[in-house]
Amino acid sequence: MFCKYCGKEVPDNAAFCTECGKPLGEPAPQPTAPTVNARELGITSRSIVTAILLTIVTCGIYGLYWFVVLTNEMNKLSGKEQDMSGGMALLLSLVTCGIYTIFWAYKMGEKRDIVTGESASSNVVYLVITLFGFGIIVYALAQDAINKAVERQ
Ligand SMILES: [Zn+2]
């Protein structure tokens, strides 16, 4: 190819002209906005059916573990790692006899919309589901959002 500044012939893959030293070729690609990579964060998808079955079989004990990992994974994926950890959220839920889970569900809905990039008012949806006592549906929906985030990458 030829230098577009001085017209001298230069090697095709040269980054700079050997004659005048001006930069050649394509401009450097703009750095893209940092995207959260679920795999880099160590997050893998989880079967919703298996998790629900495990929760039933263990009389809810697996559900406590699921609650903790869901919270931590959702915090990471939504970039809100400074938010309350899953362990603390579980403790608060137990101390408040489950009242805290209503607030938790609301926050999970907010994060779900951040992770999926949808404005689906999931916070209100999750809150209502929890008020009706179907918290496990919130777990499943949150897990679904996490699984989709993992699949995207
Ligand atoms: Zn040149």
Give me the pLDDT at residue 27, please.
Answer: 57
Q: How would you classify residue 7: left for phi > 0, otherwise alpha for psi between -120 and 50, otherwise beta?
A: left
**How many domains is the chain partitioned into structurally?**
2
**Ligand 1 centroid to 94 CA: how many Å?**
71
Q: Is residue 94 part of a domain?
A: yes
Axis-axis angle for helices 135-151, 61-77 (nearest 10)? 50
Alpha carbons within 13 A on the beta-carbon side of 25: 12
Residue 32's pLDDT is 47
Both tokens assigned to 84: 């309350």
Residues 76 and 102 in one domain: yes
Q: Per the domain annotation, does 145 fall within a domain?
A: yes
What is residue 48's predicted lDDT score, i.e. its pLDDT? 97
Cβ distance 128 to 120 under 8 Å?
no
> How many A from CA of 7 to the centre of ligand 1?
6
Q: Are residues 114 and 69 in the same domain?
A: yes
pLDDT at 125: 96
Residue 28 CA to ligand 1 centre (angstroms)? 18
Rounded distance from Cα 30 to ligand 1 centre (Å): 24
* One domain, residues 78 and 117: yes
pLDDT of residue 29: 53
Domain range for 73 is 48-151
Rounded Cα distance between 45 and 6, Å, is 56
Q: Block means of pLDDT (10 residues each) for the chain, length 153 residues?
A: 88 87 69 64 93 96 97 95 96 95 96 92 96 94 94 81
CA of 29 relative to ligand 1 center, distance in Å: 22
**77 in the same domain as 15:** no
CA 131/CA 27 separation, integer angstroms: 55
